[in-house]
Amino acid sequence: METMRRTKIVDVLKSTDFGATVNVRGWVRTHRSSKAVDFIALNDGSTIKNVQIVVNTSTTDEQTLRQITTGSCLSVTGTLVESQGKGQSVEIQCKDIKIYGLCGSDYPMQKKGQTFEYMRQYGHLRLRTNTFGAVFRIRHHMAIAIHQFFHDRGFFYFHTPIITASDAEGAGQMFQVTTQNLYDLKKDEKGKIKYDDDFFGKMTSLTVSGQLEGELGATSLGQIYTFGPTFRAENSNTPRHLAEFWMIEPEVAFIDLNDLMDLEEDFIKYCVQWALDHCQDDLEFLNSMIDKTLLERLRSVVSGSFKRLTYTEGIDILKEAVAQGHKFEFPVSWGMDLASEHERYLVEEHFKRPVIMTDYPKEIKAFYMKLNDDNKTVQGTDVLFPQIGEIIGGSVREEDYGKLMEQIEERHIPMKDMWWYLDTRKYGTCPHGGFGLGFERLILFVTGMQNIRDVVPFPRTPKNAEF
Ligand code: 4AD
Ligand code: MG
């Protein structure tokens, strides 16, 4: 019996080969006993749906049967039959059960209605629940969608380094990479750490963005995208920040601000539509269990157009809201960085749809953004989403060597490790631009989950690197 080939539950549920003998393997979701038969709902992760195993209690050792509780792992061989019960089309009349592993009553994932906060303590086991199964199947499909979108449009997948000596965002919130003995750091006369003996012979960190190297790729291959892990050491304990997250960064030669916004909008809509097309069962589950407005929200994003406006127009709307009596925690004035409450007001209350904001004051944006003729604003673009806030940050890049140097000097950015970046402006410079999409923020939106810690299998946040 045991040598029989396993069929995945997703395929069993689609089968109409009634009378055939099948073998399924998976984990017990529930086990109910009635007089003559037991019902075991088995799940193997291939789908959110369980297959029902019907066990005739007279033919199975009762002692064994009673030990099979939620979380136990089984191999079941039986006959595929049309189901009499509601909510399922097929079930398996059990002929043989092999127990791979029983699961004690102390199994932490068995109770219904456990909070996500509780489940985070069991990062190794929460994966086996329905919700996390749905989330991580969707996460997989989103990664495929992203590659498909760019591949279809002639972008090349370009790998940028994870260890870097440059600070792309100029914010300095980086994790250092070193092989130095931290108990015996070598310092110079001024007390500064000597990196000469360190592995790379200079100070290095985990990357905060692949953009700078991505720009090198775009000035060779025309249009590239990166998709990789990204690290930020900012101490942001919010439901939208991770210390380790994944970012997708397309970079395109000869693109202007309008085409860049079109690319951003097309990209997100494509991903959301992909989820609607490929993740129906999981989305329906999340819609019923997590957020009743999820499907409606996803459909409205793909069918409507995003609102485009400048930062200055946005500030005017926020000022008007204040004048009408709306209370914000942080005061509104031109030049300020928008707080999440401001972004969400514009998206959720004022426009009631995604917003693409452009032309920010240069002081609140990175050094590489293209300066407008007003000398005050830059061609940056953020995409703001309902419930998420910023999901994309991007810009047209400053391609003029002199202007770029001016920004670098104004900000006192140490450029000794970025000479190669400046060379792109020296040798055959070209207009170009790109953006970064936070993968987990996209997954937050698509799944309706509330906390970014629940859309990455093993979250890294301040004071937390368990699992
Ligand atoms: O706006 P950011 O900082 O832009 C860049 O890094 C540019 N180099 C992108 C580019 O133009 N190529 O980050 C881009 C996106 C944000 O909009 C957000 O979705 C996500 O990355 N992000 C984070 N996601 C999770 N946790 C964090 N700590 C994040 N910081 C940024
Ligand atoms: Mg940003």
Nearest atom of ligand 1 to the alpha carbon of 393: 1
pTM to 2 decimals?
0.96
Task: Give the whole-angstrom CA distance, residue 69 versus residue 223.
Answer: 53
The tokens of 44 are what? 């193997």
412 pLDDT band, cuts 50/70/90, is: confident
CATH code, residues 9-101: 2.40.50.140
Task: Give the whole-angstrom CA distance, residue 384 versus residue 366.
Answer: 18
Mean pLDDT, rounded, for 327-331: 95
Q: What percent of the chain has pLDDT over 70?
A: 99
Instruction: Examine the pLDDT at 416 and tell me if it is beyond 90.
Output: no
Question: What pLDDT is attached to residue 169?
Answer: 75
The closest alpha carbon to 223, from 149, 128, 154, 144, belongs to: 154
The closest alpha carbon to 99, from 32, 49, 37, 42, belongs to: 42
Instruction: Examine the pLDDT at 2 and tell me if it is beyond 60.
Output: no
**Is the CB of residue 230 less than 8 Å from the CB of residue 209?**
yes
Mean pLDDT, rounded, for 345-371: 97
Q: Which of 175, 225, 245, 455 is the best mutation target for the ligand 1 pocket, counting ligand atoms within 8 Å of the beta carbon and taking the most?
A: 245
> Which segment of 133-142, 246-255, 260-269, 404-413 scores lowest on mean pLDDT?
404-413
List all residues 6 or more positions away from 450 whose beta carbon is below 8 Å from its beta carbon: 116, 239, 444
Q: Which of 174, 223, 247 is the best mutation target for the ligand 1 pocket, counting ligand atoms within 8 Å of the beta carbon and taking the most?
A: 247
Q: What angle do CA 246, 249, 252 make, to 5 degrees?
A: 170
Mean pLDDT, rounded, for 439-458: 98
Mean pLDDT, rounded, for 153-171: 90
The ligand whose atoms approach the alpha carbon of 383 most closely is 1
The ligand whose atoms approach the alpha carbon of 249 most closely is 1
pLDDT one-digit tens code per residue, 373-386:
999 999 999 999 99
Q: Where are the alpha helices (DSSP H) in 253-388?
A: 257-278, 280-289, 294-303, 311-323, 340-344
Residue with tokens 């690197």: 465
Identical fold for domains 9-101 and 130-306+353-454, yes or no, is no
**Is the CB of residue 227 less than 8 Å from the CB of residue 248?**
yes
What fold does the segment set 130-306+353-454 form as a domain? BirA Bifunctional Protein; domain 2 (3.30.930)
Q: Cα(435) to centroid of ligand 1, in Å?
A: 9
The pLDDT mean for the chain works out to 95
Q: Cα(370) to centroid of ligand 2, in Å?
A: 15
Question: What pLDDT is attached to residue 136?
Answer: 98
Q: Cα(187) to centroid of ligand 1, in Å?
A: 34
DSSP string of 18-37, one letter each residue: TT-EEEEEEEEEEEEE-SSE
The ligand whose atoms approach the alpha carbon of 250 most closely is 1
**Is the CB of residue 206 less than 8 Å from the CB of residue 177?**
yes
Task: Give the whole-angstrom CA distance, residue 120 versus residue 242.
Answer: 14
Q: Ligand 1 atom 18: the closest Cα is on which residue?
A: 438
pLDDT one-digit tens code per residue, 215-255:
999 999 999 999 999 999 988 889 999 999 999 999 999 99
> Domain map of the chain by residue range?
9-101, 130-306+353-454
Q: What percent of the chain has pLDDT over 90?
A: 86
Residues enclosing ligand 1, CB less than 6 A?
168-169, 209, 211, 232, 241-242, 245, 247, 249, 390-395, 434-436, 438, 440-441
Question: What pLDDT is attached to residue 63?
Answer: 87
